[in-house]
Structure 1
Amino acid sequence: MSTTIGVLAVQGDVREHLRVLGGLGVRATTVRRPSEVEACDGLVVPGGESTTMAKLARAFDLLEPLRQRVKEGLPVFGTCAGMIMLADRVEDGTADQETIGGLDITVRRNAFGRQVDSFEEDLSFEGLAEPVHAVFIRAPWVEAVGSEVEVLARVNSGPAAGRIVAVRQGPLMATSFHPEVGGDPRVHRRFVDLVEGS
């Protein structure tokens, strides 16, 4: 039976993730209902706007089912706003900011600045031989990690050098950047391997 990986489809760059996952040979499907959360072997929470995404997830009755599946060990990969959605703690969030949680990290929203401060950089990524071309768009960064969290990538240069931009904790993985743009499927491949190995 083929692996089914859902992409949370309330807001954000859903199509791009579906395309990359489909190219890796998994069954990729949109997730908008609690029953669809149950049907997934793994889930991608895409980039977008984290406060809007959380409100829509709440409106679609998805937050509690998502939190429950994360507690049960569902592999989840969050990119950009998806990293914020998986974080246990958020800096510079709104007063009523809700997350799915599960990742023992403190994340700072819009850490790199506004849309005009978006940038691209080649990053060394733990476990990958060649650098990953990372696209950062109004991206968060990780301020602090818990003892169980593995740091997968950091910014190499510039004023944000050394900032953590990719992490993994058990079946949960997150990047500040958008691996779904740029045509390099290796970060998604890591996640698919994580799902298939769990």
Structure 2
Amino acid sequence: MRIGVIAIQGNVEEHVIAIENALRRAGLQAEVIKIKHKGLVDSCDALILPGGESTTLGRLLEREGIADEIKKAASAGIPIMGTCAGLVLLAKHGDDQVEKTGQPLLGIMDIHVNRNAFGRQRESFETLIGFNGFDTPFNAIFIRAPGITGCTNDVEILSKYKDSIVAARQKNILALAFHPELTDDYRIHHYFLKMIG
């Protein structure tokens, strides 16, 4: 098994460490690779799109030719997890900010996204949230976080905070508004590993 972490920008190292720890705890073997250029996505059984600055990330993915590879992987049923900016990129529909900046979206999940649902960097926070299927709350870290403001019936809502959906799944796509890789709680990475099968 091979898991690819898109390594163009953002919390790359933290995701690599988190998924390696989750694999170890689950007693699973997998190679975790960093993807910086096209030609590697095809060799992966799962992909992680980390946080970062979504406009920059979207443009770099297009420029490097990785965006099309991710879209192809998504339609082939490859599990993909997007966190924070990764969630924004997964969306089919963005808010005014997305329109204004000409933010490129991958458009692989039937969600509407508000790019700065929880304010700016200085308004970052952490809070306990319920997560569908978890016995106890998850300590979610929100950093200039987006939120899902709407979705189709095909999308399973996994967690809400205030008026926003902050975790959702549509078939093989998992979108998170927060940063599970910044905690020592690997339940969400385990959840993702189960999606790989």
Query: Do the two structures share a fold, i.e. TM-score over 0.5?
Result: yes
Identity of matched residues, %: 38
CA contact (8 A) 2:55 2:101 kept: no
What's 2:132 paired with? 126
Task: Say how many residue pairs are matched.
Answer: 189
1:5 aligns to what SS in structure 2? strand
- Which of 143, 153, 164 is matched with 1:147 structurally? 153
What's 1:78 paired with? 82
Please report how far the alpha carbon of residue 162 of structure 1 lies from its aligned counterpart in structure 2 after TM superposition. Answer: 3.3
CA contact (8 A) 1:21 1:27 kept: no
Please identify, of 48-57 and 66-75, the stretch whose mean Cα deviation from structure 2 is larger.
66-75
Gaps of 5+ in 1: 156-160
- Which of 2, 5, 11 is matched with 2:3 structurally? 5
Gaps of 5+ in 2: 24-29
Please report how far the alpha carbon of residue 33 of structure 1 lies from its aligned counterpart in structure 2 after TM superposition. Answer: 2.4
Please report how far the alpha carbon of residue 95 of structure 1 lies from its aligned counterpart in structure 2 after TM superposition. Answer: 4.1
Structure 2 CA distance for aligned equivalents of residues 129 and 29 of structure 1: 31
Please identify, of 53-62 and 20-29, the stretch whose mean Cα deviation from structure 2 is larger.
20-29
Q: Deviations over 1:163-186 (max 9, x none)?
A: 210000000001100000011110
CA RMSD of aligned residues (A): 1.0
Please report how far the alpha carbon of residue 85 of structure 1 lies from its aligned counterpart in structure 2 after TM superposition. Answer: 0.8
What's 2:175 paired with? 174
1:35 aligns to what SS in structure 2? coil
* TM-score where L is the length of structure 2: 0.93
1:1-198 map, 5 Å: 3-25=1-23, 26-91=30-95, 92-93=97-98, 94-155=100-161, 161-196=162-197
1:24 aligns to what SS in structure 2? helix
Structure 1 CA distance for aligned equivalents of residues 163 and 169 of structure 2: 17
Please report how far the alpha carbon of residue 68 of structure 1 lies from its aligned counterpart in structure 2 after TM superposition. Answer: 1.4
Please report how far the alpha carbon of residue 117 of structure 1 lies from its aligned counterpart in structure 2 after TM superposition. Answer: 0.8
Structure 1 CA distance for aligned equivalents of residues 32 and 186 of structure 2: 14
Q: Deviations over 1:120-152 (max 9, x none)?
A: 110000011111000000000001011100000
